[in-house]
């Protein structure tokens, strides 16, 4: 937006990044009714190319639809999740979270993915949430790759040394310098 100040722009960016970090952290740390953990994150992301993350929240009558659509059109997503072959979906709601709401959110997300996508699903209850739902979506495995939509000059080129350097554990790398 042309009228937004630089401070406001950074506040928005900070908020988006904070929500992303919180979403990943909650996904891994908080136990759920249908649990998602780091092994699931690794399974979706291993050898899958670029990954996209979206977070959506909703409240009221159409909360699951609102949250699902927000997650797949999140400001964290530079391109669409359409055609993703790997999806990790985590749904958090209050004790009033209905099965139909979970089903509706999962349906919207799965319709955006490839028909043969590997979808890992998790859900948990947050006792402090009332008539609310929060979705975290991690999408991977795009046919053309989401990075194709990002101009090549904006992607950093890593040297062979940089890439191979991180294949060894940190304690071994320290001795090689």
The pLDDT, as a whole number, for residue 173 is 62
Q: Which of 157, 149, 29 has its CA nearest to residue 80?
A: 149
Identify the CATH number of the domain in which residue 122 sits. 3.30.1330.20
Entry pTM? 0.72
Confidence of residue 124 (pLDDT cuts 50, 70, 90): very high
Q: Chain-centre distance of CA 167, in angstroms?
A: 25
The pLDDT, as a whole number, for residue 28 is 79
Q: Which of 159, 89, 163 has its CA nearest to residue 122?
A: 89
57-96 pLDDT tens trace: 999 999 999 999 999 886 656 667 888 999 999 999 999 9
What would the mean pLDDT of 99-127 be, rounded to a whole number? 93
Q: What's the residue count for the chain?
A: 177
The side-by-side arrangement of strands in the sheet containing 51-59 is 51-59, 132-140, 86-93, 118-125
- Separation CA 73–CA 106 (nearest Å): 15
The pLDDT, as a whole number, for residue 150 is 44
Determine, yes or no, domain membership for 52: yes
Phi, psi of 95 (to 5 degrees): -60, -20
Residue 33: pLDDT above 90?
A: no
Residue 169: pLDDT above 60?
A: yes
What is the chain's mean pLDDT, rounded? 81
Residue 156: pLDDT above 50?
A: no
The pLDDT, as a whole number, for residue 27 is 79
Number of domains in the chain: 1
- Separation CA 37–CA 102 (nearest Å): 19
Determine, yes or no, domain membership for 133: yes
The pLDDT, as a whole number, for residue 40 is 87
Q: For 73-76, which contacts have Cβ atoms below 8 Å and span 24 or more sequence positions?
A: 74/137, 75/16, 76/16, 76/19, 76/20, 76/52
Confidence of residue 113 (pLDDT cuts 50, 70, 90): very high
Domain hosting 47: range is 6-143
Determine, yes or no, domain membership for 164: no
Residue in the structure block whose two tokens are 């939509």: 149
* Torsion sign (Cα): 111, 115, 119, 121: positive
Determine, yes or no, domain membership for 168: no
Residue 127 is encoded by which pair of tokens? 């006792």
The pLDDT, as a whole number, for residue 161 is 54
Determine, yes or no, domain membership for 149: no
The pLDDT, as a whole number, for residue 149 is 44
Determine, yes or no, domain membership for 163: no
Q: Which residue has the higher pLDDT, 27 or 141?
A: 141
Hey, is 87 helix, strand or coil?
A: strand
The pLDDT, as a whole number, for residue 175 is 63
Determine, yes or no, domain membership for 153: no
Confidence of residue 36 (pLDDT cuts 50, 70, 90): confident
Determine, yes or no, domain membership for 66: yes
Phi, psi of 13 (to 5 degrees): -60, -45
- Separation CA 50–CA 67 (nearest Å): 23
């Amino acid at each position: 937006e042309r009228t937004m100040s630089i401070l406001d722009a950074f506040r928005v960016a900070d908020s988006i990044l904070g929500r992303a970090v919180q979403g990943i952290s909650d996904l891994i740390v908080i136990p759920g009714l249908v649990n998602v953990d780091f092994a699931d994150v690794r399974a979706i992301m291993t050898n899958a190319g670029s990954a996209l993350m979206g977070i959506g929240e909703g409240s009221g009558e159409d909360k699951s639809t609102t949250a699902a659509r927000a997650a797949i059109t999140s400001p964290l997503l530079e391109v669409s999740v359409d055609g993703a072959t790997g999806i990790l979906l985590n749904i958090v709601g209050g004790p009033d979270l209905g099965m139909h709401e979970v089903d509706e959110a999962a349906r919207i997300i799965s319709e955006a993915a490839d028909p043969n996508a590997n979808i890992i699903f998790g859900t948990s209850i947050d006792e402090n949430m009332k008539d609310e739902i929060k979705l975290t979506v991690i999408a991977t495995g795009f046919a053309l790759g989401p990075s194709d939509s990002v101009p090549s000059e904006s992607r950093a080129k890593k040297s062979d040394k940089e890439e191979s350097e991180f294949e060894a554990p940190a304690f071994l790398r320290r001795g090689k310098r």
